[in-house]
Chain A
């Protein structure tokens, strides 16, 4: 079974530029999560999707961050414009459904904003 796939793995951009991350969850997993992981810290939830619906986005900075999961499978997380403090690892995870607590993580996208 293929795991959670993310791309790109690394991204370097200048501040004020836009950036987008893509995630393909494990096949059959209805729930998808985006996490932010700063250096030396645990992952922090940004947004959770149940199929196409964003059911928990209270920690997503909506002034510059947006996300979508149009067909309930792949998801994209966007930052526009990026700031220096956005440099971090962006992790995607998925679980079978809202009753399945086990979350499986992707390898993450390491973002560096210069």
Chain B
């Protein structure tokens, strides 16, 4: 099955700086890659996702890039704010085309924004 790994496990950044989290995946057939943000004790919330026919997607201060050849995708947060502090999970799935929407999650990255 799919194996998703995230790096680094913990990331501390100064407020206003950028944060980058990288994920690698193993299944070359994966074509859907969402990122979830989870604050302590709360539900995972989708913040951005990308499909394999797109190399980059941006939403305000958040962007995701995908390199299918290298099988990795990254989350970029610019102008970080204290409310960006959370655990971020990446995931991958083959999506609807295979009738299999099983998401494989990474272990998560703890992002700490230092005021």
Contacts and interface: CB of A to CB of B under 8 A. Distances in A.
Interface of A: 3-4, 31, 40-45, 48, 56, 91, 95, 98-108
Given A101-B34, A105-B45, A106-B43, A45 B103 contact: yes
B101 A43 contact: no
B49 A101 contact: yes
Contacts of B76: none
Contact of B108 (A40, A56, A102): A40
Contacts of A42: 4, 89, 91, 105-108
A66 B16 CA distance: 47
Interface in B73-115: 89, 91, 93, 95-96, 99-103, 105-108
B95 A101 contact: yes
SS of A interface (majority): loop
16 contacts: A3-B43, A41-B107, A42-B89, A42-B107, A43-B105, A45-B103, A48-B101, A56-B102, A98-B101, A101-B32, A101-B93, A102-B46, A103-B34, A105-B44, A105-B45, A107-B43
A94 to B, nearest CB: 11
Nearest to B46: A102
Contacts of A31: 101
Interface residues of B, number: 24
B42 interface: yes
Contacts of A40: 107-108
A98 B43 CA distance: 22
Interface string B20-63: 00000000000010101000001111100100000000000000
A56 to B, nearest CB: 6
